[in-house]
Amino acid sequence: MKKLTLVLAGLSIVFSGMTQKNKVVSAYNYEKSYQRSKRCSDLKKGLDAIEVAKDDEVTKTWAKTWRYRAKILWDIHTSDKCKSMFPDALNESFESYSKAFQLNFKNPEYKNMDMEKMTEEQQKKFAEDFKTGKVEFEDPEITMEFMQMMPSFGIEFINNGVTAYQNKNYEKAVEYFEKGIGAQAFGGKLDTAAMYYLAIAYEKAGKDSNAIETYKALTKMGYEGKGDGPKIYYYLSDLYKKQGNLEEAHKVIVEGRQKYPEDKALLTEEIDYYLKAGKDDEALKTLDEAITKDPNKAILYYARGTIYDKKGDVEKAAADYQKAIELDPENFDAYYNMGALYYNQGADYNNKANELPLDQTAKYDEFMKLSQEAFEKAIPYLEKANQLKPDDIATANTLIKLYTRTNQLEKAKALKAKYQ
């Protein structure tokens, strides 16, 4: 009885294997039938058959099982009529083709390897072996079909990535862009435009390290896109600044400026670095260059004016502040700095007068006259600044002091009452 049981069990395994093999054949036939009829019912029957086969201990190890599943799911994904029967058909088709590709290896080291978890060294070795023909396959037709399908998968995934990005679903956009770029790379194409959008999606998703590596790769590839070349350096520098790595951020901007010397955004970023680093001479040189390229940009004159102001060159500082005001009549900072420049000049003359010996009355009167003239010059600029930003207390306080020093006591009283 025991022997009979073992025999029957053995026969059961054999018959089960034959049954599941028939399922694979049925799936193949239904897919072929769909190509002729375009009936969703054929795909449904084929899918039902192959879903059984993919879970069987024997047929799940066959590359062709996964190939037929991939083909059926691709048909479902690309059919408007049939798509609803398997909403995730695109991803599942891709995974099934990948499984078929892996099971089709003759090389044991690749047949049992998780392709997505390969180390960098393993990836390099596989690429070299594949290139030199050391990788062998059970059925070359399956490999050829896999390679031919990858560009189509790439396009679909990248399009889905764009949609996800537009919907602000940045995590999903990253997932689709990564798959799309990987699929197209297998098909022999590196989609640098998709890499650019992947880098932006990484940044939006808070994956700054990934974004940095992708932007760096794009700079090495010389990606230009539709005028996107300079932006890559700008975005990369901004990420380094976000990490607190100001030296690397500046280095990237310098590299970008060497490649795109006419780009105004990179030029402005370089100026900003020099200003924040207190490198006034470098900032002046770069600002002179920027003004030559863009003579109607008020912020450039204002920035250069602050450096001349800092250096004590009142004449040049005033000229630049005045130019900034002419170009941008609503520029609060330029008005305030111009007023402060004359206020400080007046205060300096006043201090010099008070430091004189009592017997130098003529010199004292000269300094006090110059002091009053400077204070009077400051008033209209600070009045305009106060008008532009009435909530700025520092401006109001300085203006009150000026009214008092120039004996405009009613104005001082009125303004003081306004802020009490």
- pLDDT digits over 267-304, tens only? 888 888 888 888 999 999 999 998 998 899 998 999 99
Q: What is the pTM of this model?
A: 0.72
Q: Which amino acid is at 184?
A: Q
For the record, the structure tokens of 44 come out as 């449904």
Residue 96 pLDDT grade (very low, low, confident, very high; cuts 50, 70, 90): very high
Query: Helix or strand or coil: residue 6?
Result: helix
Smallest Cα–Cα separation from 181: which of 168, 194, 200?
194
Separation between Cα atoms, residue 403 and residue 153, nearest integer Å: 74
Q: Is the pLDDT of residue 1 over 60?
A: no
pLDDT 10s digits, 343-354: 999 999 999 999
Q: Predicted confidence band at 8 (pLDDT cuts at 50, 70, 90)?
A: very low
Q: All domains of the chain, ordered by start, with CATH?
A: 159-222 (1.25.40.10), 224-295 (1.25.40.10), 316-420 (1.25.40.10)
Average pLDDT of 225-251?
93
- Are 339 and 355 in contact by the 8 Å Cβ rule? The answer is no
pLDDT in tens, 132-171: 888 889 999 999 999 999 999 999 999 999 999 999 999 9
pLDDT above 70 as % of the chain:
94
pLDDT, residue 81, reads: 94
The span from the CA of 59 to the CA of 65, in Å, is 7
Judge whether residue 4 has pLDDT over 50.
no
Q: Which of 237, 259, 234, 232 is nearest to 247 (CA)?
A: 237
Record the tokens describing residue 52, joined without a space.
Answer: 């059984």
Indicate the SS3 state at residue 146. helix
What band does 196 get if pLDDT is binned at 50, 70 and 90?
very high
3-state secondary structure (DSSP) of residue 86: coil
Whole-number pLDDT of residue 263: 86
Per-residue model confidence (pLDDT) at position 235: 96
